[in-house]
Amino acid sequence: MDSQPKAGDALFVAGTDTGIGKTHAACTLIHALRAHGLEACGMKPVASGCLETPDGRRNEDGLALQAAGSRALAYASINPIALREPLSPHLAARLEGVAVDMAPLQAAFDRLRLSHQMVVVEGVGGWMVPLAPGLLASAIPQQWRLPVVLVVGLRLGCLNHALLSARAILADGCRLAGWIGNRIDPAMVAVEDNLETLRGMLPAPCLGVLPYGLAPADAAARLDVTPLLPSRIP
């Protein structure tokens, strides 16, 4: 009999751009999965723009993911590579003279999967942000074979960004499991018309639309995560 613990499932949260609410959506997903009885946690493999604190470097997104999980976890287990400057990771790492590679990210991810039923892995920036020379953020879901949830920041230009991102995700051999609309611009004109267009053109189901200003724990009921539950993920 195999005595090794069974690894849990995982998914990757990608965004159509920087500043469109990936972390907000990822934390909301964690709360929604927890509401289904799953032990769930978040992970931010690489974060730039980290602050120096008495406990070490901390990133706002990483702290939010840490707080959303089912149990208390050490910060480094959630964000194994924390870079100081608020730049693209490959530039922030170059300034510090450090290399970003997949080995420490893989080790941290494997540990989280062994202790949780679902790990929500949040990307950095958009789909093709460079992490290091020859290494893009998209390599994480590619190498870890993760289904992708695309967060669409609902603002002017979101249709083009969403459709290009979906095309790139599929072209890279990843499965687009669903998308989430995030109301980052409460004054956006014709938001329902844009959502209707996205529902008709994106090749994946809409998992929900997050209202502007609603906390993740309160917004969780707005998401339908049944397509993401472990029994549904191949």
- In the chain, where the domains are located: 9-226
CATH topology of domain 9-226: Rossmann fold (3.40.50)
The pLDDT tens digits of the residues spanning 53-90 come to: 999 999 999 999 999 999 999 999 999 999 999 999 99
The pLDDT tens digits of the residues spanning 150-169 come to: 999 999 999 999 999 999 99
User: Which amino acid is residue 200, in one-letter code?
Assistant: G
Dihedral, CA of residue 166, residue 167, residue 169 and residue 175, to nearest 10: 80
Please identify which of the residues 31, 44, 58, 183 carries the catalytic annotation: 44
Q: Is the sign of the CA dihedral 21, 23, 27, 30 positive or negative?
A: positive
Average pLDDT of the residues of the chain: 94
Dihedral, CA of residue 57, residue 42, residue 4 and residue 227, to nearest 10: -160
Does position 189 have pLDDT exceeding 60, yes or no? yes
Does position 5 have pLDDT exceeding 80, yes or no? no
The pLDDT tens digits of the residues spanning 15-57 come to: 999 999 999 999 999 999 999 999 999 999 999 999 999 999 9
CA neighbours closer than 13 Å in the CB half-sphere of residue 61: 31
Nearest to 48 by CA among 58, 56, 38, 63: 58
- Residue 6 appears among annotated catalytic residues: no
Q: Is 140 helix (H, G, I), strand (E, B) or coil?
A: helix
